[in-house]
Chains A and B, each alone.
Chain A
Amino acid sequence: MAEPNKPANMKIEGRKRSIWSNLSLTWLVPIAALAVTLFIAWQSYAERGSLITIRFENAAGVVPGETTVRYRDVGIGQVESVEFTSDLSSVMVEARIDREVVHAIPSDAQFWVVRPEVSTSGITGLSTVLSGVYIEAGFEPTTEGASETRAFEGVNSAPLVKPGMEGTRIVIRAEDGSQLTAGSPIFHQGIEVGRIETPRLLDSGNGVIVDAFIEAPHDRRITTATRFWDTSGFSFNFGPGGLNLSVGSISSLIRGGVAFDTVFSGGNPVPSRYVFDLFDDEGAARDSVFSESVDNGVDLVVEFDESVRGLEAGSSVTYRGLRIGSVRGLGAFIDDTTGEQRVKLRASISIDPRTLGLEDDAQDAETIRFLAESVQNGLRARLASEGLFSQGLMIELVDMPDAAPAALGIFDTEAPVIPSVESEIPDMAATAQGLFQRVDNLPVEELMQQAISTLAAVESLAGDPDLRAVPGSVTGLLDDARGILGSEDMQALPGELNATVSELRGIVEDLRTADMVGQLVATLESASEAADTVTGVAADVEGATAELPQLISDFRALVETANNLPLEAFINQATELLNSADRLIDTDQARNLPNAVSNALNELRETLAELREGGVVENANATMASARDAAAAVEQAVRELPALSARIQALVGDAQITLQSYGDNSSFNRETVAALREVREAAEALTRLAREIERNPNSLLFGR
């Protein structure tokens, strides 16, 4: 330096600044770092989430700190610890769940461990092979309020229905669960629309139920008219319709499966957990429309004396051909009510009240009351064959009003007893055996011998010449008969009869239509009287006519004698008169008088016939009238005859003239005779008519 000895400059320092003004800006860095660190610490604490505990049967594969909890396959938390419960009965898994999510987990959330699983329905959880298992959460996030539940129950396997899935949960009831495996698909027209869960036994032990889930929107297809059937395996059916082999898909062969369809229209929507029955095959399902088993079936008992071979649980119970229930079980018991012990068979049956026309929700008591009434009216149970070729039996309820009276045994056993009657099953085997027995017993050998001898006899008889002549005689006889029948007379006979009847009918018709019955009666009466009178008169007349000539001649001679008074001459003349009178009587004319009367009657008939043929009622009327007039005239004339005789006697003077006129032209005689004939003819005709009517009154009534 230039001035080595020069003292150093004075060290001058300013006033010490305060510590704050001297503060370096670098301090901002640690402050910022602290702030950031604290912020991160706070944030990580705030986002740490809440601890929940899940109880599992076992915690296979769950590793604390690694196993995640996922919801919809997104991690929402992590398992922090795995511990036993205090009694070592289960495992408590503690997991820290994101704060946003944990408040949305409802108390019914389900947690299950997702593991790799290889089943017939596929491989699931493959990613967990490498990544390890994880816990899947299934729940429907709560919307109202925050859930405070922090303890949950884990399930062993993934639930069939994840919460939040839309669809309908139903219950399927089957007789056994051999064809049902958890996860088996449910098909509808070949489309998988749902799955079934693990089957479980019914408490009663007589069936299996399984929960099933039908996804929306297919669950709309489920109605009360829906039937489910088993599609797994083969279905082999040989019936009247031929051979029926149905094979489901290979998948359903392996996995089993259930299909459903709506078998009739008009079903109602079903509520959740509605119970359906599972049928063995589609045909059974479709046939089951009227034969479904029922929930509120009425249990009844039928007791049989006879063998129930062929009857089994599930056999039909029919009423008038309609299936109304089924046999639920068979058993035997000892009946000692009659004193001696007898084994009876008892079938318990279940009847659907709906099929009897009762209400769907009819109470048992109501149904039993109905049945009791029916039994009183003759309802009986009996065994019946299911079909011609079937050995199976069914129970048939029949109305037998004439059956022995019985009542529904309500208090006899655990269920009301329907009285039974002897069945009418034709025992095919027994019948066939009996038939063969009868055939065996037939005297076939004797029959053959007899037949042979009979044939021999017939042969010899046929060989007889007399027998050979028989046909000729028969032919002649037939010819004769034919000739008789073929004769004109014979053929005309019906015609004549017809004609006669027609005539008669015509007359009767005329008479009836002319209202002439009264007249006829009157006419008949008068005619009868007239006939009587005429008969008498005729006798008188006959006598008179026999005596008249003599009398007349006597009178004439008397008159002449009186006039001439030559007495001897008078006596001679009288004698001659008498002789001549004798001759007169002896003459053919006098002898022919009856014949003449007969002829006159014939004429009268002809006249009547003519009149009849005229067909006019007036004619008949007139005829009757004239006949009556004639009768009246005859009557009058006959009445006048005695007077005439008296007058003749009285008028001796006129007697000769009268006698001469009588004797000369005998017009009086002719008139009288004609009149008599007419009257008699009429009377006869009427008599015949009356007889005809009497003989055949129908002709009058029916005109035939």
Chain B
Amino acid sequence: MEDTGTTPGVLTAKAAGLVGCVQCGRVNPAGTTTCGRCGSQVSTRDETSLQRVWAWLFAGLVVYIPANIYPMLRTQILGQESNSTIYGGVVDLLHHGSYGVAAIVFIASIIIPVSKFIAIAYLALSINHRVKLSAHTRHKLYEVVEFIGRWSMIDVFVVAILSSLVQLDFAASINPGIAAVSFALSVSFTMLSAESFDARLIWDADGDDDHNG
């Protein structure tokens, strides 16, 4: 991977008249639709990749709204019920002096998802539109997005763990709110969105850039 970044004008399989299987990695001749080794479908470029990226991205955005509006945690302590949204929880933590935890929650629940939305949208747009960005940077960005996406689930894990552990009837009980489901869905959708992105399109875009530039 590093080599591809450092070697401009590298020969791609498409340019070489081949098509690689994304599942097993075998290189098949161009025009082959089924991988000769693993039998999965192969294609030079996934035509619907960008569509799916945008679709999942929109879905993630839609459910991200209620995830921030509705309460994430419904906490009942001695009969007193309090609902806290994601942002409200961060503010509460800051007020209580738990800056570290607040920072973690803030980054995991707000910074990362929002960054992902922006990054995926940028990558998808950069395929069709010429941008001043090196191919290597785009690949790095894509890999970071794909890697970090799962860590957004940390908030959902916290809610899930708290909900299952803190069920002390009258004394204290914590239940997930609507936002927890929404947030989990949002994270899943953005992950799917990143997954749907066909990284090979970046090469084409890079090639175009090189060819034109």
Q: Is A645 an interface residue, CB under 8 A from the partner?
A: no
- B residues within 8 A CB of A698? none
CB-CB contacts below 8 Å: A34-78 with B: 34, 36-37, 40-41, 66
Q: Is A474 an interface residue, CB under 8 A from the partner?
A: no
Q: Which of B53-61, B156-164, B203-211 is the contact stretch? A: B53-61
Q: How far is the CA of A33 from the CA of B55 in the complex (A)?
A: 11
User: What residue in chain A is nearest B17 (Cβ atoms)?
Assistant: A8
- A residues within 8 A CB of B30? 8-9
Q: Which of A18-26, A557-565, A609-617 is the contact stretch? A: A18-26
- B residues within 8 A CB of A29? 55-56, 59, 189
Q: Is B196 an interface residue, CB under 8 A from the partner?
A: yes
Q: How far is the CA of A80 from the CA of B55 in the complex (A)?
A: 39
Q: When the two chains form their complex, are residues A26 and B55 in contact, meaning their CB atoms are under 8 A apart?
A: yes
Q: When the two chains form their complex, are residues A33 and B196 in contact, meaning their CB atoms are under 8 A apart?
A: no
Q: Which of B33-41, B75-83, B114-122 is the contact stretch? A: B75-83
- A residues within 8 A CB of B63? 33, 36-37
**In whole Å, how far is A46's beta carbon from the nearest beta carbon of chain B?**
15
- A residues within 8 A CB of B31? 9
CB-CB contacts below 8 Å: B41-100 with A: 47-48, 51-52, 55-59, 61-63, 65-66, 78-82
Q: Is A130 an interface residue, CB under 8 A from the partner?
A: yes
Q: Is A437 an interface residue, CB under 8 A from the partner?
A: no
CB-CB contacts below 8 Å: A398-436 with B: none
**In whole Å, how far is A607's beta carbon from the nearest beta carbon of chain B?**
145
- Known contacts A66-B82, A127-B79, A130-B79; A37 and B62 CB within 8 A of each other: yes
**In whole Å, how far is B46's beta carbon from the nearest beta carbon of chain A?**
10
Q: Is A30 an interface residue, CB under 8 A from the partner?
A: yes
User: What residue in chain A is nearest B63 (Cβ atoms)?
Assistant: A33
* Most-contacted residue by chain B among A29, A30, A33, A66 (CB, 10 A): A33
Q: How far is the CA of A66 from the CA of B17 in the complex (A)?
A: 68
**In whole Å, how far is A130's beta carbon from the nearest beta carbon of chain B?**
4
Contact with B along A117-161 (1 / 0, CB 8 A): 000000000010011100000000000000000000000000000
Q: Is A389 an interface residue, CB under 8 A from the partner?
A: no
Q: How far is the CA of A473 from the CA of B71 in the complex (A)?
A: 142
- A residues within 8 A CB of B80? 66, 130-132
Q: When the two chains form their complex, are residues A131 and B62 in contact, meaning their CB atoms are under 8 A apart?
A: no
* Most-contacted residue by chain B among A24, A27, A40, A41 (CB, 10 A): A24
Q: How far is the CA of A130 from the CA of B48 in the complex (A)?
A: 58
- Known contacts A29-B56, A130-B78, A131-B79; A22 and B47 CB within 8 A of each other: yes
Q: How far is the CA of A131 from the CA of B80 in the complex (A)?
A: 5
- B residues within 8 A CB of A32? 59
- Known contacts A9-B17, A66-B82; A33 and B47 CB within 8 A of each other: no
- B residues within 8 A CB of A30? 55-59, 61-62, 189
Q: How far is the CA of A130 from the CA of B170 in the complex (A)?
A: 10
Q: How far is the CA of A130 from the CA of B65 in the complex (A)?
A: 34
- A residues within 8 A CB of B65? 37
Q: How far is the CA of A355 from the CA of B182 in the complex (A)?
A: 83
Contact with B along A433-452 (1 / 0, CB 8 A): 00000000000000000000
Q: From the candidates B48, B57, B66, B79, name the one contacting A22 in the complex (CB within 8 A).
A: B48
Q: From the candidates B16, B48, B51, B66, name the one contacting A41 in the complex (CB within 8 A).
A: B66
CB-CB contacts below 8 Å: B16-38 with A: 16-17, 30-31
- A residues within 8 A CB of B58? 30, 33-34
- B residues within 8 A CB of A132? 80
- B residues within 8 A CB of A127? 79
- A residues within 8 A CB of B59? 29-30, 32-34
Q: Is B185 an interface residue, CB under 8 A from the partner?
A: yes
User: What residue in chain A is nearest B30 (Cβ atoms)?
Assistant: A9
User: What residue in chain A is nearest B83 (Cβ atoms)?
Assistant: A65
**In whole Å, how far is B54's beta carbon from the nearest beta carbon of chain A?**
8
- Known contacts A26-B196, A130-B78; A40 and B178 CB within 8 A of each other: yes
**In whole Å, how far is A150's beta carbon from the nearest beta carbon of chain B?**
25
User: What residue in chain A is nearest B80 (Cβ atoms)?
Assistant: A131
**In whole Å, how far is A31's beta carbon from the nearest beta carbon of chain B?**
8
- B residues within 8 A CB of A40? 66, 178
**In whole Å, how far is B41's beta carbon from the nearest beta carbon of chain A?**
15
Q: How far is the CA of A8 from the CA of B189 in the complex (A)?
A: 39
Q: How far is the CA of A66 from the CA of B77 in the complex (A)?
A: 12
Q: When the two chains form their complex, are residues B66 and A37 in contact, meaning their CB atoms are under 8 A apart?
A: yes
**In whole Å, how far is B176's beta carbon from the nearest beta carbon of chain A?**
15
**In whole Å, how far is B115's beta carbon from the nearest beta carbon of chain A?**
20
User: What residue in chain B is nearest A131 (Cβ atoms)?
Assistant: B79
- A residues within 8 A CB of B51? 22-24, 26-27
* Most-contacted residue by chain A among B52, B55, B56, B57 (CB, 10 A): B55
Q: When the two chains form their complex, are residues A34 and B62 in contact, meaning their CB atoms are under 8 A apart?
A: yes
User: What residue in chain A is nearest B53 (Cβ atoms)?
Assistant: A26
* Most-contacted residue by chain B among A9, A26, A131 (CB, 10 A): A26
User: What residue in chain A is nearest B16 (Cβ atoms)?
Assistant: A8
- A residues within 8 A CB of B82? 66
Contact with B along A481-504 (1 / 0, CB 8 A): 000000000000000000000000
- B residues within 8 A CB of A130? 78-80
Q: How far is the CA of A8 from the CA of B16 in the complex (A)?
A: 7
**In whole Å, how far is B28's beta carbon from the nearest beta carbon of chain A?**
13
Q: When the two chains form their complex, are residues A24 and B62 in contact, meaning their CB atoms are under 8 A apart?
A: no
Q: How far is the CA of A131 from the CA of B57 in the complex (A)?
A: 43
Q: From the candidates B15, B52, B62, name the one contacting A33 in the complex (CB within 8 A).
A: B62
**In whole Å, how far is A202's beta carbon from the nearest beta carbon of chain B?**
44
- A residues within 8 A CB of B47? 22
- Known contacts A33-B189, A130-B79; A26 and B178 CB within 8 A of each other: no
Q: How far is the CA of A648 from the CA of B48 in the complex (A)?
A: 215
Q: When the two chains form their complex, are residues A131 and B78 in contact, meaning their CB atoms are under 8 A apart?
A: yes
* Most-contacted residue by chain B among A8, A36, A37, A127 (CB, 10 A): A37
Q: How far is the CA of A32 from the CA of B51 in the complex (A)?
A: 16
Q: How far is the CA of A131 from the CA of B170 in the complex (A)?
A: 10
User: What residue in chain A is nearest B82 (Cβ atoms)?
Assistant: A66
Q: From the candidates A8, A24, A37, A66, name the one contacting B52 in the complex (CB within 8 A).
A: A24
- B residues within 8 A CB of A34? 58-59, 62
Q: When the two chains form their complex, are residues A33 and B79 in contact, meaning their CB atoms are under 8 A apart?
A: no
**In whole Å, how far is A315's beta carbon from the nearest beta carbon of chain B?**
60
* Most-contacted residue by chain B among A29, A41, A131 (CB, 10 A): A29
- Known contacts A30-B62, A37-B62, A66-B80; A24 and B48 CB within 8 A of each other: yes
Q: When the two chains form their complex, are residues A24 and B78 in contact, meaning their CB atoms are under 8 A apart?
A: no
- B residues within 8 A CB of A66? 80-82
User: What residue in chain A is nearest B178 (Cβ atoms)?
Assistant: A40
Q: How far is the CA of A40 from the CA of B179 in the complex (A)?
A: 11
User: What residue in chain A is nearest B79 (Cβ atoms)?
Assistant: A131
Q: How far is the CA of A34 from the CA of B63 in the complex (A)?
A: 7
Q: When the two chains form their complex, are residues A26 and B78 in contact, meaning their CB atoms are under 8 A apart?
A: no
A sample of 19 inter-chain contacts (CB < 8 A) reads: A8-B15, A9-B30, A9-B31, A22-B47, A22-B51, A24-B48, A24-B51, A29-B56, A29-B189, A30-B57, A33-B58, A33-B59, A33-B63, A33-B189, A34-B58, A37-B182, A40-B66, A130-B80, A131-B79
In the A-B complex, list the 6 residue pairs whose CB atoms are closest, starting with the nearest. Answer: A131-B79, A30-B59, A30-B58, A26-B55, A24-B51, A26-B52
Q: A22-B48, A41-B66 are in contact. List 18 more A-B contacts (CB 8 A).
A: A24-B48, A24-B55, A26-B52, A26-B55, A27-B55, A29-B56, A29-B59, A30-B56, A30-B57, A30-B59, A33-B59, A33-B62, A34-B58, A34-B59, A40-B66, A66-B80, A130-B79, A132-B80
Residues of B that sit less than 8 Å from A by CB: 15-17, 30-31, 47-48, 51-52, 55-59, 61-63, 65-66, 78-82, 178, 182, 185, 189, 196
